[in-house]
Structure 1
């Protein structure tokens, strides 16, 4: 994922957690916070030790980044997003993960087109 799409600093994460809104499904929690003056979005992914060892956590991060990268033209810009991975997501296939990520963005009304996510 390119640098301009990354949410990396602790203070940015804290700002999204404190001031942002959230939606959830069984596999993911999505926090989002509107930034002013920005046209692209930034994404952070949080996967705690509860979901598995480092191999499992990093695999989940990579898969979510790829799903967002392939759908980045369909996600509303100007926001900071944090995706928190829940334990049930570990057992899903890539297609099921993609469907679940799209669902959580749709639930938050953060898609550009109705048919997208």
Structure 2
């Protein structure tokens, strides 16, 4: 069961960690998400999730974050060792887990190419 965990050391928590993505040249846009990533010297896998107020109120934003965290937790092996920031666009609140998973899985496949 530990392989499906999402411990704190795999999360981007500090503002300074998110700021490193401001000039990220590596990004992929989809209909509902923007995936930014940077490779790091320590070769660790970390993920941050950003959902702005444009997406909805706090209940909706937290739901989107929960769905993205669940996708990450179940698909950790698809991620390359890097730091990621997944930004939800307006309209992401309408996705169910199946559609969200399909969209993010396609992004990760494009990333591997």
TM-score (norm 2): 0.88
Rounded to whole Å, the distance in 1 between the matches of 2:37 and 2:29 is 11
Q: Partner residue of 1:23?
A: 28
RMSD: 1.4
Structure 1 segments of 4+ aligned residues over 4 angstroms from their partners? none
Query: Could you give the per-residue CA deviations for residues 50-108 of structure 1, whole angstroms, max 9, x where no partner exists?
Result: 0100000000001100101100022111x110000011221111100100111122222
Q: Secondary structure at the match of 1:51?
A: coil
Query: Which stretches in structure 2 are left out of the alignment for 5+ residues?
Result: 1-5
Query: Which stretches in structure 1 are left out of the alignment for 5+ residues?
Result: 111-117
Counterparts of residues 6-21 of structure 1 (less than 5 Å): 6-21=11-26
Q: Partner residue of 2:59?
A: 55
Rounded to whole Å, the distance in 2 between the matches of 1:91 and 1:37 is 36
